[in-house]
Amino acid sequence: MSENSSALAVNVGYGYSCECPHIASHILSLTEPYLKTPGSLILEIGTGSGYLTVCMNELLHEKSSICSLEINMKLLNRTIKKVESYYKDMGKKLKRERVSFLWWNGKRGYKTKCPFDVIYCSGLVSDEEFNQVRR
């Protein structure tokens, strides 16, 4: 990562950082066709700040859903509160039937809801995770 792009990453605490804006934008442009497709199931491994989850939710078709996994319970609880507060401030309600936040080690994916149409991982993807993608 270049010095410029790492300077744009935002520390969200607990040793984690949020993607820099151009990376988040690129991720959204790649996932947008799936987000807007009815019935799509998106797996996000590494909820972090929840920024990408919120952005994806804004593009998400009403009959699609996002499952966001976070291994750090303290970070996850803080993120859920911030995301719900954001929607409340916007005069909206987070539709929990469409977006689920789970305390889970995403290293092996999340077989309970697979196959997924998209798996976004904020780190490296294992073969086991890759095999859960719908083809």
Domain CATH code at residue 54: 3.40.50.150
Q: How many CA atoms lie within 13 A of 72 on its CB side?
A: 15
Q: Say what the pLDDT of residue 56 is.
A: 95
Angle at 104 between CA 98 and CA 105, to 5 degrees: 130
How far is residue 47 from each of residues 2, 29, 41, 86, 101, measured CA to CA in Å? 23, 18, 16, 16, 8
Which helix (H) or strand (E) segment holds residue 98: the answer is none
Length of the chain: 135
Say if 78 falls within a structural domain.
yes
Say if 114 falls within a structural domain.
yes
Segment 41-60 shows an average pLDDT of 93
Segment 21-41 shows an average pLDDT of 92
Say if 2 falls within a structural domain.
no
pLDDT tier for residue 100 given thresholds of 50, 70 and 90 = very high
pLDDT by residue (tens digit) across 32-42? Answer: 999 999 999 99
Query: What is the distance between the alpha carbons of residues 131 and 126, in angstroms, rounded to a whole number?
Result: 9
Per the structure, the count of domains in the chain is 1
Say if 14 falls within a structural domain.
no
Q: Strand order in 118-121's β-sheet? A: 99-103, 65-70, 41-45, 118-121
Range of the domain at 59: 21-130
Q: Say what the pLDDT of residue 21 is.
A: 77
Say if 15 falls within a structural domain.
no
What is the average pLDDT value for the chain, to the nearest integer? 85
Say if 50 falls within a structural domain.
yes
